[in-house]
C-alpha cells in the first residue's frame, strides 16, 4: 500500500492529531499491522480495542474483538518505526494519530478502498473442513499464469480478511481469500467486503456446532459467502452435500459443483494414494503431493476455479506440482529421530479427525504408527458424544499406541486402550513420545488449536 497519512485520514473519516495537514500530505504509509512486534519502518499501526459491544458494522452485540487494548502498544509501535497510528481516543504520544470512532471499522474502510484501487479478480473460500487446503490449491494453480495473493496462516476473520487485502502487492491480479466463521452474519459482512468473482464452499461438517446446533444451520451460515458475489460471478460448491444443493436454488448466479457423485460439473473418480494422491476429474488424471483421499474433492474445487480462467489440464497439473501448503494442516515433517510426523494441529472436529485416522491407517510405514489426539473444541453440549464417535475407529489394530490429550478426551480414554494427559501436561507427553518413537515410525498429531499440540510438534523436530 502507498497512501499518505492525509489520504488514510480521508478514507477512514478520521481526525489528525500530532501532525499538520501539510505534513500528513507529505508523509506516506507503506504497510499496516495490528501487532506492534511486527511493525516495520513506515507502517501504520492498528490498535484493536477490547470493548464489549463493539464490532464491525455492529454485527455482533456480544463479540469481543481482542484480548488486550492495542492502544497500550502505540509507543512500542512508534519505537519499531511506525509513522502513524489509528486510535479511538486521544493518547499521550508524539506519534501522529488518526482519531476514529472504531479502529476496526477504519480498517475495513481502508481495505475496501485499497481493494477497489487494485481491482484483482477475487475468489472467496469457506467450508467446515478443507478451506485452507483448497485456498492453497487454487492459489497454486492460478499462480501459473497470474500474480496471486492469498490468505496467510489463519487470517480469515474480521481482522484477518481486511489485513490480507491491505498486504496485497499492487501488482496482484488474483486475490484468493479464505473466510472463517463461527456466528451468523460474519460471512455476509466478509463477502460484501471482498465482493468476490467466485465463491467456493468445500463442505459442511460439525465445526462450530456449539453455536449453530445443527448442520442445517451451519449450511445456512456458509451460504452467506454468496452475499457479496458479483452479479456475473460463479458459485462453486460440493454437489455431494444435499444441504448445499437445496440452498443453491436460491442463488441466481451461475453454479458449478464438484464431488464424487454422478451429475457433478467436476466429478472425481479413481482416487488412489501412493507416493502422491492420484485421481481423475472428468476422466482427466491428476496427481498432487497431499495426504488423504478426501483432498481429491478439494482438488476438484480448485480445478473448477482454474477452468474459469481457461486453464489447460497440463497447466493445472503444473500448478499441483508447485503446491505450497499452509503450515499445521496435514503437514508431513521429519522428527529428530527420523520419524515421520503428520501435523494437523490447527483445528479439529469429528469429520476432520475421522479423515485423519484414515490417513494414518493407510500411511505406508516400516515402523510403528502412533496417534496423538487432543480435544475437539466448540462442539457444545454434544461434545462428549461427538468425541466418542472416535471409539470404534480407535480400536482398530492399525495403531500401535494412542495418546489422548484434554478434558473431553478423558471420556474417550476411559473406554479404549490409550494414554491420557491433561492439556497442561504436554511436557510429560513429549517425554513419553520421545522415549517411544524411533526411526521409521509415523506419528499423527491432531487437535484443535487451543490444545497447542504445535508445542509437541516443535519438540519432536
Residue 448 assigned as binding residue: no
Per-residue pLDDT, 362 = 85
Any binding-site annotation on 280? no
C-alpha cell of residue 142: 492460478
CATH 3.40.1390.10 holds for 3-102: yes
Share of the chain above pLDDT 90, in %: 80
> In the CATH scheme, what is the code of domain 331-460?
3.90.190.20
Q: Are 286 and 303 in contact (CB under 8 A)?
A: yes
Q: Where are the domains of the chain?
A: 3-102, 120-321, 331-460
DSSP code, position 194: H
Q: Give the mean pLDDT of 360-389.
A: 91
Spatial strand order of the sheet with 97-99 comes to: 15-17, 97-99, 84-87, 43-45, 31-33
pLDDT (tens digit per residue) in 295-349: 999 999 999 999 999 999 999 999 999 999 887 778 889 999 999 999 989 888 8
- Classify residue 47 by its DSSP letter: P
Give the global pTM.
Answer: 0.85
- From the DSSP assignment, how many helices (H) and strands (E) are in the chain? 18, 22
133 labeled part of a ligand binding site: yes
How far CA 26 is from CA of 19, 92, 98, in Å, comes to 11, 23, 15
257 is annotated as contributing to ligand binding = no
Res. 141 pLDDT band, cuts 50 70 90 = very high
127 appears as a binding residue in the annotation:
yes
130 is in an annotated binding site: yes
Give the mean pLDDT of 371-381.
Answer: 90
What value does the mean pLDDT of the chain take? 92
At 210 the pLDDT is 60
For 56-98, write each residue's pLDDT tens digit. 333 333 334 444 689 999 999 999 999 999 999 999 999 999 9
CATH, domain 120-321, list 3.40.50.970, 3.40.1190.10, 3.40.190.10, 3.30.70.890: 3.40.1190.10
Segment 156-161 long-range contacts (CB within 8 Å, at least 24 positions apart): 156/131, 156/180, 157/186, 158/55, 158/56, 158/65, 158/104, 158/186, 158/189, 158/190, 159/34, 159/48, 159/65, 159/104, 159/107, 161/111, 161/190, 161/193, 161/194
Taking the C-alpha atoms of residue 344 and residue 342, their distance in angstroms, rounded to an integer, is 7
155-179 mean pLDDT = 96
> What mean pLDDT is predicted for residues 383-395?
91
Question: Would you say 164 is a known binding-site residue?
Answer: no
Interval 118-122 mean pLDDT: 98
Amino acid at each position: 500500500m502507498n497512501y499518505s497519512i492525509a489520504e488514510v485520514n480521508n478514507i477512514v473519516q478520521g481526525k489528525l492529531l500530532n501532525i499538520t495537514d501539510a505534513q500528513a500530505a507529505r508523509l506516506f504509509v507503506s504497510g499496516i499491522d495490528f501487532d506492534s512486534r511486527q511493525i516495520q519502518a513506515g507502517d501504520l499501526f492498528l490498535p484493536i480495542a477490547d470493548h464489549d459491544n463493539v464490532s464491525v458494522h455492529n454485527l455482533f452485540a456480544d463479540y469481543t474483538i481482542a484480548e488486550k487494548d492495542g492502544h497500550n502498544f502505540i509507543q512500542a509501535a512508534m519505537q519499531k518505526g511506525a509513522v502513524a497510528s489509528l486510535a479511538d481516543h486521544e493518547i499521550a504520544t508524539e506519534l501522529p494519530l488518526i482519531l476514529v470512532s472504531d479502529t476496526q471499522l477504519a480498517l475495513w474502510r481502508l481495505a475496501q478502498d485499497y481493494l477497489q484501487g487494485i481491482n484483482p479478480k477475487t475468489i472467496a473460500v469457506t467450508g467446515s473442513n478443507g478451506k485452507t487446503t483448497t485456498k492453497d490449491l487454487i492459489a497454486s494453480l492460478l499462480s501459473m499464469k497470474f500474480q496471486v495473493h492469498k490468505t496467510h496462516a489463519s487470517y480469515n476473520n474480521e481482522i484477518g480478511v481486511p489485513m490480507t487485502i491491505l498486504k496485497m502487492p499492487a501488482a496482484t491480479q488474483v486475490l484468493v481469500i479464505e473466510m472463517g466463521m463461527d456466528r451468523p452474519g460474519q460471512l455476509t459482512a466478509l463477502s460484501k467486503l471482498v465482493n468476490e468473482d467466485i465463491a467456493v464452499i468445500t463442505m459442511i461438517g460439525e465445526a462450530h456446532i456449539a453455536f449453530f446446533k445443527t448442520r442445517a444451520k451451519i449450511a445456512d451460515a456458509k451460504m452467506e459467502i454468496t452475499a457479496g458475489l458479483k452479479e456475473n460471478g460463479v458459485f462453486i460448491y460440493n454437489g455431494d452435500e444435499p444441504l448445499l444443493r437445496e440452498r443453491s436454488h436460491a442463488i441466481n448466479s451461475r453454479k458449478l459443483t464438484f464431488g464424487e457423485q454422478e451429475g457433478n460439473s467436476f466429478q472425481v473418480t479413481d482416487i488412489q494414494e501412493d507416493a502422491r494422491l492420484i485421481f481423475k476429474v472428468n476422466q482427466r488424471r491428476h496427481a498432487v503431493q497431499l495426504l488423504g483421499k478426501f483432498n481429491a474433492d478439494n482438488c476438484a474445487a480448485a480445478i473448477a476455479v482454474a477452468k474459469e480462467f481457461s486453464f489447460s489440464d497440463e497447466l493445472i497439473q503444473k500448478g499441483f506440482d508447485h503446491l505450497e501448503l499452509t503450515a499445521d494442516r496435514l503437514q508431513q515433517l521429519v522428527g529428530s529421530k527420523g520419524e515421520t510426523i503428520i501435523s494437523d494441529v490447527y483445528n479439529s472436529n469429528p469429520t476432520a479427525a475421522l479423515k485423519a485416522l484414515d490417513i494414518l491407517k493407510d500411511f505406508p510405514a516400516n515402523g510403528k504408527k502412533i496417534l496423538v489426539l487432543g480435544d475437539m473444541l466448540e462442539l457444545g453440549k454434544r461434545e462428549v458424544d461427538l468425541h466418542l464417535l472416535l471409539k470404534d475407529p480407535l480400536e482398530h489394530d492399525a495403531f500401535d499406541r494412542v495418546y489422548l490429550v484434554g478434558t473431553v478426551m478423558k471420556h474417550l480414554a476411559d473406554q479404549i486402550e490409550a494414554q491420557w494427559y491433561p492439556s497442561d501436561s504436554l511436557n510429560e507427553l513429549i517425554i513419553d513420545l520421545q522415549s517411544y518413537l524411533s526411526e521409521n515410525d509415523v506419528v499423527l498429531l491432531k487437535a484443535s488449536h487451543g490444545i497447542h499440540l504445535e508445542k509437541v510438534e516443535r519438540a519432536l523436530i
